[in-house]
Amino acid sequence: MSKITFLGAGSTVFAKNVLGDSMLTPALQGFEIALFDIDLERLKDSENMLNNLKQTLGSSCHIKAYTDRKEALRGAKYVANAIQVGGYDPCTITDFEIPKKYGLRQTIADTVGIGGIFRNLRTIPVMLDFAQDMQEVCPDALFLNYTNPMAVLTNVMNTYGGIKTVGLCHSVQVCVPHLFNHLEIDTQGVQYKIAGINHMAWLLEVTKDGEDLYPEIKRRAALKQLEKHHDMVRYEMMLKFGYYITESSEHNAEYHPYFIKRNYPEFIEKFNIPLDEYPRRCIDQIEGWRKIREEIVNNAHLTHTRTHEYASYIMEAIETDVPFRIGGNVMNTGLITNLPREAVVEVPCLVDRNGVTPTYVGDLPPQCAALNRTNINTQLLTIEAAITGRKEHIYHAAMLDPHTSAELSMDDIIAMCDDLIEAHGDWLPKYR
């Protein structure tokens, strides 16, 4: 029996999407779906939910929950990862509240920035433990990583874990539909090309019947900027740098030095930036789960419609050898020629029986590559800190972060990092 293992299966709603999709995929019938989570109550919830869904969908997949991670992984052909180390309380709270004491504000804090750095530092050791288990019990499995910070964790699994890994994000699939819907442009017949790094990939080309649609996109975007809306940061970046970015404005507000600024507090209002957005979402999700838990977990009539998540389509393409195209996060083996080879990039990839094959992009527009490199600098120094155990590289990563360095002095950045290391305590390894 072939096997799909889901790590972080207590993320019940997300598990429903990825594994519900799998149960609707003919090529994956008969697979074992192995569930693992350190939260045994949430693990049981997901097991119950998926067994109900299996009956409703008439799937022949076999659902099994494990309390032993290595046994959950043993013999897996595919491993999906959706863990969050430290959760909302205490770690996300810490990532937001300590920087606030230094006057550093954030919106999401899960990619780069000071929050992204520390989320990486507490997640990388766990991911390397996964890799060690996989080397023993499923060395040829394909690791489908959904956990943020996407670029760094995908890099670590490939470079230091020795595990075939592709990082999967929602932002590529929804980029053009989201943009065109907001600008009231029909997407029928539109062709496009996206490449860059995760959460800062670029809509490089967008055409219809051979016509470049960017002039009309920018004309409409400039008009939209005359009044408040939800995507003002990305439109501003497009109008100034020439290209639209895949990930949302609340994310991109903290990836650049231009928007969240103590000396220009009016920018928060001007660009409609939702400070502390991620903690609010966490609170809403916790409260929302309490309300919908019974309906999701113990609903014998629960059903599902296949989503746009890539995981089931990747597995289907490999099983059937019917090609499928994704936007995947992979090592930059010369794919984007003006970004560092040791970085992870987000590029179009072809999936078939040979696995995930990235496509060559070449040079990005120079201004886009330059902006990507400002975030790659922090990513690579974060990896250096995690692998060497040297505290100085945590400082380097933070001092190179565009938003952090625009707001704080080097001494304050170092003091803030020390405070975060102390506050995270045993959630982090010891640094020297």
In order of their start, the domains of the chain are 3-167 (3.40.50.720), 368-427 (no CATH)
Residue entry with tokens 């090592």: 331
Whether pTM > 0.95 for this model: the answer is yes
From 170, 178, 182, 304, the catalytic residue: 170
| pLDDT string in tens for the chain (432-residue length) | 799 999 999 999 999 999 999 999 999 999 999 999 999 999 999 999 999 999 999 999 999 999 999 999 999 999 999 999 999 999 999 999 999 999 999 999 999 999 999 999 999 999 999 999 999 999 999 999 999 999 999 999 999 999 999 999 999 999 999 999 999 999 999 999 999 999 999 999 999 999 999 999 999 999 999 999 999 999 999 999 999 999 999 999 999 999 999 999 999 999 999 999 999 999 999 999 999 999 999 999 999 999 999 999 999 999 999 999 999 999 999 999 999 999 999 999 999 999 999 999 999 999 999 999 999 999 999 999 999 999 999 999 999 999 999 999 999 999 999 999 999 999 999 999
Q: How many CB atoms lie within 10 A of CB 294?
A: 9
Return binding residues for substrate.
Answer: 148
Residue 161: C-alpha distances to residues 38, 210, 326, 385 (Å): 21, 43, 23, 16
Binding-site residue ranges = 148, 169, 199
Amino acid at 257: P
pLDDT value of residue 194: 98
Tell me the CB-side half-sphere exposure of residue 66, using CA atoms within 13 A: 18
Q: Which residues are annotated as a binding site for Mn(2+)?
A: 169, 199
Show the beta-strand stretches assigned E in 211-264. Answer: 211-212
Using the CB atoms, write b or e for 373-401: b if 16+ within 10 Å. bbbbbbbbbbbebbeeeebebbbbbbbbb
State yes or no: is 170 an active-site residue: yes
Q: What is the CA radius of gyration of the chain?
A: 21
Residues 6 or more apart whose Cβ sits within 8 Å of residue 23: 33, 50, 53, 54, 57, 59, 61, 304
Instruction: Identify the burial level of 224 via C-beta atoms within 10 angstroms of its C-beta, where 0-12 means exposed, 13-18 middle and 19 or more buried.
Output: middle
Listed in sequence order, the residues at least 6 apart from 413 whose beta carbon sits closer than 8 Å to its beta carbon are 395, 398, 399, 404, 405
